[in-house]
Structure formats: C-alpha cells, structure tokens
C-alpha cells in the first residue's frame, strides 16, 4: 500500500509541475494562435498555426513591419493579426495603397514588397497619438484594420508572431521587413 501511495504521489507531482509550467509559458512567454480569414494573405493563410512571443514587447516597443496579435479594439474577446504600419507620434497618408509616413519633418514612402502587385483604392490620413499603432492586413483589399476602426492601443497588443508551425511544409520564422 505504501508503494502505491508513493507512486500515486509521484504521478500527481509530475502532472502538477507540467500543468504549472504550461500555464506559465502560455501566460507570460508564448502562446499558439490560429489564423482565421484571409486578411494576411499571402504572408499567412487561413488555418496557419503560429507561435506568438508575448515576452518581447515587455522589453521593447513594436517596430514597423512586425506582424503582431492584438485584442480587437471593438471587442477585447476577439484577437486579430495585422502588420504594424504606423508608430506613435507619426502622421500617415495612405493614397491608393501607397503609404507615406511623416514624422519630425521627415517623409518616408514605404516599399512594401510583401504585398506583391495589389491595387488598393481609397484615401486615409491619420495622426497617431502616444501609445497608438496603425495596423493593416497584407491582403489590403480584404482586410478589416486601422483604416476602418482606427489605431490599436499599446495595451491591447498581445505579442509578436515568431513562427509558423502549421502547415509543416510552410514552417518558418518571421522578422520585420527592412523598409
């Protein structure tokens, strides 16, 4: 009976340690994310399984071009995935798909090679405040993003997309493009 008790105790101890470790990793370090929809095509497709780094933005601020997951400003129960286009304190002008960034008298037109030859209609102009980020999907014609509902607050950002894990033949690590 004593041997059974110690065996049972060891199993409970192992399971408890595993559950606590998974909880800590998923809460503070990384968590999985399933892409739903086509707003990030061709970079990410519907059904892609990603790994989100939740730690990096506790150490530094998001950078232009990074793909991040955040709580949708209209409903914090929903999570979205988009690319950072505008940073705090910048003024953005988006005219027929061309993104121009103005800050401290400087003007920069973004060369977004990840978009391909997509033609986008419309005009948006926005000034970002402190702790505000302008985000857009890579599939610009079919993306519900900051052009529709405004900037994302820094406090709503969950983490940075680091890896695509599924499908296996498309597995890869991601980093921000150089503009």
How much is the pLDDT for 26?
A: 60
What is the percent of the chain with per-residue pLDDT over 90, rounded to a whole number?
Answer: 21
Mean pLDDT of the chain: 82
CATH tag, 2-170: 2.10.109.10
pLDDT of 24 reads: 61
Lowest-confidence segment of 6-15, 102-111, 150-159 by average pLDDT: 6-15
Could you tell me the pLDDT band of residue 89, with boundaries at 50, 70 and 90?
A: very high
Per-residue pLDDT reduced to its tens digit, 116-171: 666 777 788 889 989 999 999 888 888 888 888 889 999 999 889 887 878 877 77
Query: Which residues carry out catalysis?
Result: 39, 82
Q: Decide if 142 contacts 159 (C-beta within 8 A).
A: no
Identify whether the C-beta of residue 101 lies closer than 8 Å to the C-beta of residue 134. no
| Terminal-to-terminal C-alpha distance of the chain | 68
Residue 102, both tokens: 């103005």
**Backbone phi, psi, residue 132, to 5°:** -120, 140
Predicted confidence at residue 42, as pLDDT, reads 81
The model's pTM is 0.77
Q: How far apart are CA 51 and CA 43, in angstroms?
A: 15
């Amino acid at each position: 009976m004593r041997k059974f008790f110690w065996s049972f105790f060891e199993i409970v101890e192992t399971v408890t340690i595993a559950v606590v470790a998974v909880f800590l990793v998923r809460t503070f370090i990384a968590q999985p994310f399933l892409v739903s929809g086509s707003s990030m095509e061709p970079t990410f497709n519907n059904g892609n399984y990603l790994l989100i780094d939740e730690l990096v933005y506790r150490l530094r601020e998001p950078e232009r071009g990074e793909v991040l997951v955040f709580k949708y400003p209209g409903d914090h129960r929903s999570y979205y995935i988009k690319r950072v286009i505008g940073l705090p304190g910048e003024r953005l002008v988006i005219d027929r798909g061309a993104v121009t960034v103005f800050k401290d008298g400087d003007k920069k037109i973004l060369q977004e090679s990840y978009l391909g030859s997509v033609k986008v209609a419309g005009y948006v102009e926005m000034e970002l405040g402190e702790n505000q980020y302008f985000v857009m999907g890579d599939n610009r014609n079919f993306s519900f993003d900051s052009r529709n509902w405004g900037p994302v607050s820094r406090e709503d950002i969950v983490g940075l997309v680091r890896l695509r894990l599924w499908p296996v033949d498309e597995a890869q690590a991601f980093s921000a493009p150089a503009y």
